[in-house]
Amino acid sequence: MRYTTIKKRYSAALKGKYAMGAFNFCDSDIAMAIFNAARKLKAPIIMETSSGEMHHLHPQVARGIADGLNRIENNIFILHLDHGKTLENVKEAIKAGYDSVHFDGSALPYRQNLDLTRKAALLAHKHGLWIEGELGHVGGSSTLHKDTSYSSLEIIKTDPQQARDFVQKTGIDSLASNIGNVHGIWKGLPDIDFRLLAEIRKHIHIPLVLHGGSGIAPFQIRKAISLGISKINVNSEMRVAFSTALKKSLAKKDTFVPTEYLPEAISAVQKVVDGKIRLFKSANRL
């Protein structure tokens, strides 16, 4: 997908007060579940692989899946690298033909994050890709944490004035910030700092991204969108839905044929994506 088209989609989301869902996949079954939900609801979405998922699947294969789906419904989604931690990750995504990349240097000291993100942005723009940067570390991991609460986590929030400096000096197209959000599903609810989000929005005029969308309550999601969030990442809920449904399917079916036990897992993922698209108010936006 062309850079100008991606830019229009982010602009439309901000203007229309909705958010594009960004959904991770690591195989063709999960990709098809995401695609089917988006196609049914006529929603612009982002399909993404983290650096770990990209290496499990191989970036060229991820691009191949995307190309196959595009033959069914052209230009419904952006293929995005999620949490690329090195410049090599970015180069791999560029070589494979991804549309967009996320360079995540947020765990590094500020100056090092700024320098590497600037280099990643130059690489991405040279090849016509959109690039997302990150400031304020979004920690956690994309799974279900049954015995640990959000309150036990160390959260490094984004400084609004530093964010303005970061955006100006790196040349990124969108910014992932931390306003109390973390990856994964934990006990309780995250303490989302909406005043901080509003302050960041005052200082930053590029699209804002919210990671850790699986663990954030619907009322918090809607509030974040009203304050300028244009993209929301979802992974943990899909993983839990797929794994739970697959285990149940395998337990009740005496079969070794994947096409007989996978449909229930695929359907469970599609249901999650369908619900998120509706929550994000991005249905019927194409």
Catalytic residues: 82
Least confidently predicted of 110-114, 204-208, 251-255: 251-255
Q: Is residue 69 part of a domain?
A: yes
Alpha-carbon distance of 241 to 285, in angstroms, equals: 26
pLDDT computed for residue 272 by the predictor? 98
Helix, strand, coil abundance in the chain, percent, nearest 5: 55, 20, 25
* 214 lies in some domain: yes
Average pLDDT over residues 263-267: 96
pTM of the model: 0.94
For residue 142, the domain's CATH number is 3.20.20.70
Q: Is 285 within a domain? A: no
Total domains, the chain: 1
Q: Is residue 284 part of a domain?
A: no
In a domain, 139, yes or no: yes
Could you tell me the residue range of the domain that residue 248 belongs to?
3-279
pLDDT at residue 195 is higher than 90? yes
- Angle at Cα 84 formed by Cα 80 and Cα 89, nearest 5°? 95
- Please write the tens of the pLDDT for every residue from 276-285: 999 999 999 9
